[in-house]
Copies of this chain bind each other. A is one copy, B any other.
Amino acid sequence: MTGSSAPNLRPSAAYRRRVEFAETDMAGQVHFSNFFRYMEEAEHAIWRKAGMRIAAEDREHQWPRISAQCDFKNRLKVDDEFEVRTVMAKVTPRTIQWAHTLVRGDTVAATGTVTAVCVKKLEDGSLKAVEIPAAILDRLRAVLA
């Protein structure tokens, strides 16, 4: 995601949401940490659309986040309806960087990225980064197409 002017050139998915009261802070707007939760919700919605559950208990892979970033451009307030538009910004053998644009009407509220790494849980309980199975990538990409 390189800007807010044309967030839709790449295949993207849209996730709609409303700001809830408990997500605001005393400054009268959404607390900035909740933007990261909104971006994660949008990503997980893509997994569900692809017929997968990123966090199912019996899943072979897990996807811990290794990096997250967000630029806050306009406030979101209680009851605001907004949309998170999501693209796969960058894929490496073991990571996916998701880029999100949060839009309320014609206004970009925020742009951000969250990068997740594909890991497997070893028998001793530790996590090991592994290559993303092609089948998973294919299914995610099909949702965004």
Contacts and interface: CB of A to CB of B under 8 A. Distances in A.
Interface in A63-107: 64-73, 75, 77-79
Contact of A66 (B21, B25, B71): B71
A45 to B, nearest CB: 9
A44 to B, nearest CB: 6
Contact of A44 (B21, B41, B70): B21
A12 interface: no
B22 A40 contact: yes
B68 A32 contact: yes
Contacts of A34: 33
Q: Report, as a range, how many residues of chain A touch the other chain.
A: 35 or more
Contacts of A44: 20-21, 79
Contact of A36 (B24, B32, B53, B54): B32
Given A25-B25, A40-B21, A40-B22, A55 B67 contact: no
A139 interface: no
A27 interface: yes
Contact of A26 (B26, B33, B40): B26
Given A21-B31, A22-B25, A24-B26, 11 more contacts: A21-B26, A21-B40, A28-B57, A32-B40, A32-B68, A33-B33, A33-B40, A36-B36, A44-B79, A53-B78, A55-B79
